[in-house]
C-alpha cells in the first residue's frame, strides 16, 4: 500500500535534523518496500563553502546519506520500527555519474530488497533532471533509539 497525500513532513518520519536532514519533501512511501523524496539544494548549505571554493559540488558521501535517509522513510508506518533507529551497516556498488550543484533538485528513490526486525538491505538512486547522479546498495541495522 502506497501512502497517498497528505504525506508527512520529513521531520515527522526521520530522526535527522538540520543541518543533517537531506530530505526537503517526501514524494511517496510504500512502507517496508519503497520511498521517493526530493532534496532541493539552495546553495546555502554549509558544505558548499568548502567543497569547493569557487566551484561548489555536492560531496558524494552526502548523496549516499540522502539515499540512506530516503531508505529510512520505508520504515515509517510499520509498528515493528516504532522507537527504533536505522544505522548504516555497509555501502556497496556506489557509483557517481554526474556532478550535483547548488540549485539542483536531487530526486531520491529507495527500493527495499530485504527487511527484518533487525536489519535490511536495499538499493537507491539519486537523479537530477532525470540524469543519474548516484546509485548504491545500502545495508543497515535496526537498533533501539
Q: Cite the active site residues.
A: 51
**Phi and psi of 89, rounded to 5°?**
-115, -20
Quote the CA–CA distance of 3 and 118 in Å, as a whole number.
24
Phi, psi angles (nearest 5°) of residue 4: -105, 160
Dist CA 25 CA 8 (whole Å)? 9
Q: What does the alpha-carbon distance between residue 89 and residue 121 come to, in Å, rounded to a whole number?
A: 9
For residues 9 and 25, give the distance between their C-alpha atoms in angstroms, rounded to a whole number.
Answer: 7
Amino acid at each position: 500500500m502506497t501512502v497517498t497525500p497528505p504525506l508527512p513532513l520529513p521531520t515527522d518520519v526521520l530522526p535527522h535534523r538540520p543541518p543533517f536532514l537531506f530530505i526537503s519533501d517526501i514524494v511517496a512511501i510504500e512502507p517496508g518496500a519503497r520511498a521517493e523524496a526530493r532534496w532541493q539544494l539552495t546553495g546555502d548549505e554549509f558544505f558548499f563553502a568548502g567543497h569547493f571554493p569557487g566551484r561548489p559540488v555536492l560531496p558524494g558521501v552526502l548523496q549516499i546519506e540522502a539515499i540512506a535517509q530516503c531508505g529510512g522513510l520505508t520504515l515509517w508506518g510499520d509498528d515493528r520500527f516504532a522507537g527504533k533507529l536505522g544505522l548504516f551497516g555497509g555501502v556497496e556498488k556506489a557509483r557517481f555519474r554526474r556532478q550535483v550543484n547548488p540549485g539542483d533538485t536531487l530526486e531520491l528513490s529507495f527500493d527495499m530488497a530485504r527487511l527484518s526486525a533487525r536489519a535490511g538491505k536495499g538499493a537507491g538512486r539519486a537523479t537530477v533532471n532525470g540524469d543519474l547522479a548516484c546509485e548504491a546498495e545500502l545495508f543497515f541495522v535496526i537498533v533501539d533509539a
